[in-house]
């Protein structure tokens, strides 16, 4: 078989239980609270990875007329590329909040409101 005739190799993605849980919680919130749907979509569901959602939330939280949110988002991604362990630290932080704070019963809460 020619190389060009071969099917593309499937990409294997790593299962991320923390991100999967955050997305599940986001879908539940969107279904039960339609008024929050746009916020939940922009903050969580439109992103492929937890790292992207965190960058988005930080850029929005730090938004100021003098700062371009796109530039902040780009800068956050450059920092993530420079230190790939930050993603695991994000996950550990979300888990710590959920495990230690009795008022926090979902992983999505620290992502949306505590960051």
Confidence at residue 13, expressed as pLDDT on a 0 to 100 scale: 65
CATH code of the domain containing 82: 1.10.3130.10
The answer to whether the beta carbons of residues 20 and 91 sit under 8 Å apart is: no
Count of structural domains within the chain: 1
The answer to whether the beta carbons of residues 22 and 50 sit under 8 Å apart is: yes
- C-alpha 37/C-alpha 60 separation (Å) is 17
pLDDT-based confidence at 45, cuts 50/70/90? Answer: very high
pTM: 0.81
The answer to whether the beta carbons of residues 41 and 30 sit under 8 Å apart is: yes
pLDDT over threshold 90, residue 84: no
pLDDT-based confidence at 1, cuts 50/70/90? Answer: very low
Confidence at residue 52, expressed as pLDDT on a 0 to 100 scale: 94
Asked if residue 52 belongs to a domain, the reply is yes
| Domain that includes residue 98, residue range | 17-114
């Amino acid at each position: 078989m020619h190389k060009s005739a071969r099917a593309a190799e499937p990409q294997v993605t790593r299962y991320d239980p923390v991100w999967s849980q955050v997305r599940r919680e986001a879908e539940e919130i969107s279904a039960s609270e339609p008024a929050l749907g746009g916020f939940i979509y922009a903050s969580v569901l439109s992103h492929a990875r937890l790292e992207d959602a965190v960058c988005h939330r930080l850029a929005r939280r730090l938004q100021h007329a003098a700062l371009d949110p796109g530039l902040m988002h780009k800068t956050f991604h450059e920092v993530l590329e420079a230190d790939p362990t930050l993603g695991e630290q994000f996950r550990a932080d979300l888990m710590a909040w959920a495990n230690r704070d009795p008022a926090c019963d979902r992983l999505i809460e620290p992502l949306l409101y505590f960051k």
